[in-house]
A and B are shown apart, each in its own frame.
Chain A
Amino acid sequence: MITPGLVEALTGIAGARHVRTAPAERLTYARDGLPTHRRVPAVVVLPGSRDELVAVVRLLAAHHVPFVPRGAGTGLSGGALADGAAVLLVLTRLNRILSLDPGNRVAVVEPGVVNVRLSAAAAAHGLHYAPDPSSQTACTIGGNVAENAGGPHCLKYGVTAQHVLALEVVLADGRIVELGSPGGEPWGPDVVGLFVGSEGNFGIATRIAVRLLPLPRAVRTLLAAFASLRAAGEAVSAVIASGIVPAALEMMDQSCIRAVEDSVYAAGYPRDAAAVLLVELDGHSDEAVAADTETVQELLSSHDAASIRVAADAGERERLWQGRKKAFGAMGRLSRDLVVQDAVVPRSALPDVLETIGRIAATYQVTVSNVFHAGDGNLHPNISFDARVPGLRTRVDAASTAIMEACVAVGGTITGEHGVGLDKLRYMPLIFDAESLAAMRAVRRVWDPEERVNPGKVVPVHACREWTGVRSVEWGVRSVASRDAPADSALRTPHSALDT
């Protein structure tokens, strides 16, 4: 229970200016980067130091109050939303780079450090932090750890989990544990790997030791235009099959190209192309990268690339990347409302799946724009719509579900990097059976027996009406509603909840 006394105690720890209770202030925290989900937190606390954060967590533990950690709020699955029973812990003020050791290529940061600021600091030493989510100019390392964030260059360099060496974590009960070792050699089981991507369900990372990599000495960036999505998709498979591992291999469709070209991030993408591929090759030898570039150019040409452009200099390369990375934000040019999906399919299935998505868009009469990490088959269909149009939201949800089912049907999965959060709870039963979900929940309880950190995310505990469009309700399991029945238990269906 969040009582006035508790709020007063929170104020005692963090200071009155950093405890937000006014409805207007809480409203600004009701959504993240996927604004179709909306939950207003009971209280928002912005601790100013690790010690304040730990004290807040201990206070909440003593009162058995649930809480949700949040970084920059750029997540795309509703993962950092807290409802009226929970306290939102905003970690933006914990934004110090605690140490940067160029010799050992390790940096230790607080969770609120913005991704791109870490790379900027490392660049002075010829290093960078490799995972580069498109939101890297805004998102925080803490959020990246929680979501196991990816990014264009993760095709070659691996996602966040491959770059986190050690963590200091405050658990739900306020205990502090250290996971991993900054030297990078794991002691025993890979607990760091377990924590990274746990979407805030296991605790809050208070200090994060990450690996830094040398900046590549040679880089070539190619932009290839195609007359059809299928041709572009087949070119992707051909590049990967050649054995060359590009640093990044990205695709954008025409709708996306045009939105970017209308924006301040216009990069000179050909507006008439059905799709473009952005291929980056890097390495430590100019000759090797030049040879790979030549091979890739030949492959793209033989797969019907209408044109191929190689970035002439760092400035042009930067513009090509900025266009790609800001594409999601440019979707507001198409319509005022947006949902973005995140699914992974086997690369070989890309051409078929892209066509299927096109058919689904036509069936449900919605606008779908594709911008995604083609090299690892990680799709991001963006559905643009105007929520004020009656009935459109229902069609958008139905199209989302149809897209997800199509991806799963070809052997794919429901999230590549955005996480499950709230948005994909309903799809979890598409890929996991009840036993697997129960096992996940059991693991979570090892860390957080009361399930107080980021409650109601990732593992579907209850099913509610909005799920009913998904073929999930037959996986009958027992209800837990009787034990911790929330106020809105009328919404719950008894046979679809899960217990251990």
Chain B
Amino acid sequence: MTERGGFEALDPCVHCGFCLQACPTFLATGDEADSPRGRIDLMRALEAGELAPDDPALRLHLDRCLGCRGCEPVCPSGVGFGRGMEAARALLATRRRPSALARAALWALTSPGTSRTVYALARMLRATGIPRRLAGWGRLRFAMGMLAATKPTRNAKRGTRNRRAGPSSAFRVPTSALLFRGCVMDGLFAHVHDATIRTLQVNGYSLREVPEQVCCGALHAHAGLRAEARLLARANVAAFGEGDEPIVVNSAGCGAMLKEYGHLVDAAGFTARVRDVTELLAAGGGPRPGAPVDVQVAYDPPCHLLHAQRIADEPLRVLAAIPVLRVMSLPDAAQCCGSAGLFTLLEPAMSRAVLAPKLASLRTAAPQVVATGNPGCLMQLGAGLAAGGLSAAVCHPVELLDESYRAAGYYA
């Protein structure tokens, strides 16, 4: 922690405006107040006390920031926009608690006891097939579409029967690694965890469970609940211990948060161990090739993988290990999908406006599968595709690799 709580990360901004076209909300409204540069002006005024934390216009435009950090990799001066935004949100939270909806969502999705029940009920609802049929554009229908999008593909489901790959004598002594399970990922995307375990095992990693781990706290930090986020960070740093085994994450949002724990707690040893699953798979000569999977895939890079963690090539290298599979390149794929954690629930109008151009380009390209490595993006894109009447499925890149490996008989 620094004296200015993160606001100092905004100091290098010289107002050049090179970030404007990288900002999904600026593209949606054309309004400087919805741009990174305008928001930096607002945050500077907030820090200086020129604007009050409860100023409604200030809150409107800061709340409408997706936190996608698409502005960071285009900034020549290296402004730490996300860092500044976390500082600003923490300051705003001192004056006004996050909205009731935000608090309810955090409670339901991240608190250990409650969330288990919520996810169990959600999985039961998902299994009925009703969410899939109700998926649409209204607030509730979109939420139904999001839930439907968490459903494993048919093949993946079959794979859950044998969660572990069989003994593969061909491989070297496995390297031990620890799996970060997260909250939403564990509640609704357990099949992605299974695929992560299996595909990494084929590539020489043996994953160990860490039972004391908790939610990463990203949603809390983004909502300005820095104290809550700090408690979670402390718990995770303790849970994962002092060892040097890599900590594997398959959610881009969690990965970005874990890698930036240093903003909240003393965690240098911990953060250095955090790896996205695609980083581990792509290391060395890339993952072991599998059997052909004949699909056209659009890869949609999650903002917190591409912008926050600067991981661009690794997921593509994972997909390249799958023979026959074709990766389509879409214009503006690097643009945010509008999910942004709780944003899709809290700011539905802006979220849909940001999603619209991406859906339009998916409609034109018509892939069979959209692959992305973050639960929020999977749900947002899945709901959008369903609402827009597009038939493409959504999945995590490791699910495709998993399917390829199953077809290759690696799990026999």
Contacts and interface: CB of A to CB of B under 8 A. Distances in A.
A25 B57 contact: yes
B30 A46 contact: yes
Contacts of B77: 263, 329-333
B240 to A, nearest CB: 31
Nearest to A263: B76
B31 A20 contact: yes
Contacts of B51: 23-24, 27
A457 to B, nearest CB: 19
A32 B15 contact: yes
B33 interface: yes
A446 interface: no
A328 B78 contact: no
Contact of B75 (A74, A262, A329): A329
Interface string B1-36: 000000000011111111111000000011111010
A32 B32 CA distance: 11
Nearest to A31: B15
Given A73-B17, A137-B21, A332-B14, A264 B78 contact: yes
Interface residues of A, number: 46
A498 B182 CA distance: 69
B273 interface: no
Task: Determine the interface band of chain B, counting residues with CB < 8 A from chain A.
Answer: 35 or more
B247 to A, nearest CB: 26
A135 B11 contact: no
Interface residue SS majority, chain B: loop
A22 interface: yes
B18 A138 contact: yes
A28 interface: yes
Given A24-B61, A90-B32, A264 B75 contact: yes
Contacts of A32: 15
B16 A25 contact: no
Contacts of B78: 262-264, 332-333
A28 B38 contact: yes
Nearest to B31: A46
Contacts of B14: 35, 328-329, 331-332, 336-338
Given A31-B15, A263-B78, A333-B78, A112 B30 contact: yes
A332 B29 CA distance: 27
B375 to A, nearest CB: 28
B333 to A, nearest CB: 15
Interface of A: 17, 20, 22-25, 27-35, 46, 72-74, 90, 92-93, 95, 112, 114, 135, 137-139, 259-260, 262-265, 326-333, 336-338
Contacts of A135: 16-18
16 contacts: A17-B29, A24-B51, A27-B45, A28-B35, A29-B38, A35-B15, A74-B16, A74-B17, A92-B31, A135-B18, A137-B18, A138-B21, A329-B77, A331-B14, A332-B13, A337-B14
A72 B20 contact: yes
Nearest to B18: A329
**Interface class of chain A by DSSP:** loop
Most buried by B among A32, A328, A330, A331: A330
B57 A24 contact: yes
A139 B33 CA distance: 17
A331 B75 CA distance: 11
Contacts of B21: 114, 137-138
Contacts of A338: 14
Given A90-B30, A114-B21, A328 B45 contact: no
Interface string B32-56: 1101011101100100001100011
A101 B170 CA distance: 61
B79 A332 contact: yes
A74 B30 CA distance: 14
B135 interface: no
B12 A332 contact: yes
A24 B32 CA distance: 11
A265 B16 CA distance: 15
Q: Which 3 A-B pairs have the closest CB atoms?
A: A332-B77, A92-B30, A22-B57
A31 B14 CA distance: 11
B11 to A, nearest CB: 5
Interface in B54-92: 55-58, 61, 73-79
A24 B73 contact: no
Contacts of A72: 17, 20
B76 A24 contact: no
Contacts of A34: 15
Q: Which of A33, A135, A329 has the most CB of B within 10 A?
A: A329
Given A24-B42, A27-B45, A264 B73 contact: yes
A30 B79 CA distance: 20
Given A138-B16, A265-B76, 20 more contacts: A24-B61, A25-B31, A27-B45, A32-B15, A35-B14, A74-B16, A74-B17, A74-B20, A90-B32, A92-B31, A137-B18, A137-B21, A137-B74, A138-B18, A260-B76, A264-B74, A264-B76, A327-B76, A328-B76, A332-B78
